[in-house]
């Protein structure tokens, strides 16, 4: 046997394996190579737009955390204890599937970090007006991304010979830390003199935006473009808006149509439940003349039934005669009319003999009642009216005759007094826990409380102004038929209960608006939209 030849062959095999093995190892690790810095920069830009986070903020945090590295030179995820990847997301408490995605999917890691940054922004004390387009307003969110404790108090950090995390990040943003890939942006920090050593910023303090202010214009532009795409249903006046709502909700016609007067709200308000029951739009017209636009819409809808709300003091006999001429193909034209608004509402409610719940609102004002009328209608629950300090006879009789399990009230004691509440309870023969009152600090909070109670998982919200009733009246019928809440919004900062409700909804929740840009502005929608999805992070 030629042992020399055997040794030579063995040596050749060893050398071959030695040469081939690194090839396979290299290929196995190739999937875990960092993209080019240019590709990573593009990912940050795209995800920042999607998440409505300033790209400058997101990029600098990632650089501070990982120097834009998802994996190290050996192909393993960059980690420091439980912190993983390019955004150094803390994986403690996360399930294995999420952890694997954070390790192996750089886009997912960036998006997760952006969501965390947004959640910190909402959790920390607000700076200034809370506009995320102002870079200075992110100072506390940057602090919290690292750790919301005194370690990052700039005074404590200075005493320990360190620079606080958030100050390091804004110094990075102001520098050309990746030449050609980032544009230096100055951010004015919150003065350390305003933050006592050994504390974290308190939400009880009014934190003004440090001056001068610097803007992330791209964030606002992208957000406003998204808001511009929100569907608006609006006409030149209340009558045309109601017509357009009918066209939106009933594009192929409707077997029934409800008509109410355009200059007062009570009859149409009580008619919302009837509109849901009949799957009918509500059209508005002047009390003494059938508007030409309503005439045209009746011809398009081709209803077999027309229901007129209110007596001849609300819609005159001349209007009824004109309606009969227009819808000559049917004789089913009827009027629901009581002695007054309270009686008319009670008569409408009598057409719901099986209803075990009823909603009650003041007949003197509209805001609280709008949202409840729509939400209750969605559950097949009619709405009746009351005076603030006395229960009308028609309402009292209805409560006595129905076998109710629940009564919903719209508004606080300024709308329905405690004395009337007692009357309602006695006449309906209900216990305290069978009376549910929705009463916020204002009409907007009341609206959001109603929406949260009836529609906790809303995927679509209809928006209306709380300053006047016509747009929302006709819109309430559409919202009820679509089984979606009608939410009243205000200009400026949204009330706490409105914010709380919006935060519980998924970020995919869509808005539709009753009224034009001057009624519900884009800024109002943007203010509301920024809260969506916060609690789902």
Residue 41 and residue 17 share a domain? no
In a domain, 223, yes or no: no
User: pLDDT at position 133, please?
Assistant: 84
User: Which CA distances in Å does 378 have to 121, 382, 491?
Assistant: 36, 9, 27
Min mean pLDDT across 36-50, 72-86, 454-468 is at 454-468
Residue 240 and residue 172 share a domain? no
Residue 247 and residue 208 share a domain? no
Instruction: Compute the chain's Rg from CA coordinates.
Output: 31
Residue 322 and residue 458 share a domain? yes
Residue 360 and residue 309 share a domain? yes
Residue 320 and residue 441 share a domain? yes
H-only helix segments in 279-357: 292-301, 317-326, 341-349
Whether residue 196 is predicted with pLDDT greater than 90 in this model: the reply is yes
Binned at pLDDT 50, 70 and 90, residue 471 comes out as: low
**3 state SS for 203-248:** CCCCECCCCCCCECHHHHHHHHHHHHCCEEECCCCHHHHHHHHHHH
Residue 58 and residue 26 share a domain? no
Residue 415 and residue 374 share a domain? yes
Mean of pLDDT values over 229-235:
86
Binned at pLDDT 50, 70 and 90, residue 520 comes out as: confident
Distance CA 201, CA 212 (A): 21
End-to-end CA distance of the chain: 72
Number of domains in the chain: 3
3-state secondary structure of 60: helix
Residue 259 and residue 141 share a domain? no
CATH number, residue 200: 1.10.530
Q: Measure the CA angle with vertex 349, ends 418 and 396; round to 5°.
A: 40
Residue 263 and residue 183 share a domain? no
Residue 66 and residue 17 share a domain? no
In a domain, 203, yes or no: yes
In a domain, 224, yes or no: no
Residue 239 and residue 149 share a domain? no
Whether residue 1 is predicted with pLDDT greater than 70 in this model: the reply is no
> Do 274 and 305 form a contact (C-beta atoms < 8 A)?
no
Mean of pLDDT values over 159-183:
94
User: pLDDT at position 525, please?
Assistant: 85
Distance CA 522, CA 503 (A): 19
Domain end marker among 182, 216, 250: 216
DSSP 150: G
- Nearest residue to 514 via CA among 139, 245, 182: 245
Whether residue 130 is predicted with pLDDT greater than 80 in this model: the reply is yes
Residue 108: which domain range? 37-216
pLDDT above 70: percentage of residues in the chain: 91
């Amino acid at each position: 046997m030629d042992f020399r030849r055997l040794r030579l062959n063995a040596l050749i095999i060893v050398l071959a394996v030695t040469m081939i093995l690194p090839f396979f190892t290299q290929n196995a690790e190739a999937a875990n190579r960092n993209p080019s810095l240019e590709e990573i920069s593009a990912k940050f830009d795209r995800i920042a737009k999607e998440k409505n986070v300033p790209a400058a903020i997101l990029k600098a945090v990632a650089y501070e955390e990982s120097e834009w590295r998802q994996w190290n030179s050996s192909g393993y995820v960059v980690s420091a204890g439980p912190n993983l990847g390019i955004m150094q997301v803390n994986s403690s408490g996360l399930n294995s599937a999420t952890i694997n995605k954070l390790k192996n999917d750089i886009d997912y890691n960036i998006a997760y970090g952006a969501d965390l940054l947004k959640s910190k922004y909402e959790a920390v004390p607000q700076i200034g007006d809370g506009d995320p387009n102002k870079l200075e307003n992110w100072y506390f969110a940057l602090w919290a991304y690292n750790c919301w404790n005194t370690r990052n108090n700039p005074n404590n950090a200075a005493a320990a010979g360190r620079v606080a995390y958030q100050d390091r990040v804004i110094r990075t943003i102001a520098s050309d830390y990746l030449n050609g890939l980032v544009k230096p942006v100055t951010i004015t920090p919150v003065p350390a003199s305003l933050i006592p050593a050994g504390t974290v910023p308190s939400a009880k303090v009014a934190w003004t935006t440090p001056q001068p202010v610097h803007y992330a214009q791209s964030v606002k532009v992208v957000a406003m473009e998204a808001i511009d795409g929100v569907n608006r249903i609006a006409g030149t006046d209340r009558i045309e808006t109601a017509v357009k709502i009918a066209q939106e909700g009933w594009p192929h016609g409707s077997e029934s149509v409800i008509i109410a007067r355009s200059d007062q709200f009570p009859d149409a308000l009580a008619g919302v439940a009837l509109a849901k029951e009949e799957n009918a739009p509500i059209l508005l017209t002047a009390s003494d003349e059938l508007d030409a636009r309503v005439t045209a819409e009746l011809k398009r809808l081709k209803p077999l039934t027309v229901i007129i709300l209110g007596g001849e003091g609300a819609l005159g006999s001349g209007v009824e005669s004109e309606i009969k001429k227009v819808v000559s193909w049917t004789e089913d034209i009827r009027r629901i009319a009581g002695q007054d608004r309270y009686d008319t509402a009670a008569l409408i409610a009598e057409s719901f003999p099986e209803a075990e719940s009823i909603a009650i609102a003041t007949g003197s004002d509209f805001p609280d009642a709008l949202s409840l009328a729509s939400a209750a209608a969605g559950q097949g629950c009619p709405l009746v009216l009351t005076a603030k300090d006395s229960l009308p006879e028609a309402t009292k009789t209805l409560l006595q005759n129905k076998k109710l399990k629940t009564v919903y009230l719209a508004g606080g004691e300024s709308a329905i007094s405690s004395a009337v509440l007692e009357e309602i309870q006695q006449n309906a023969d209900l216990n305290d826990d069978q009376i549910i009152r929705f009463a916020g600090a204002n009409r907007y909070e009341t609206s959001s409380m109603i929406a949260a109670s009836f529609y906790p998982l809303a995927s679509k919200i209809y928006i209306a102004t709380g300053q006047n009733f016509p747009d929302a009246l006709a819109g309430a019928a559409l919202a009820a038929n679509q089984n979606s809440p009608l939410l009243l919004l205000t200009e400026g900062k949204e009330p706490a209960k409105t914010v709380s409700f919006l935060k519980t909804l998924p970020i995919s929740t869509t808005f539709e608006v009753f009224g034009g840009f001057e009624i519900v502005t884009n800024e109002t929608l943007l203010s509301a939209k920024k809260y969506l999805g916060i609690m789902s992070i």
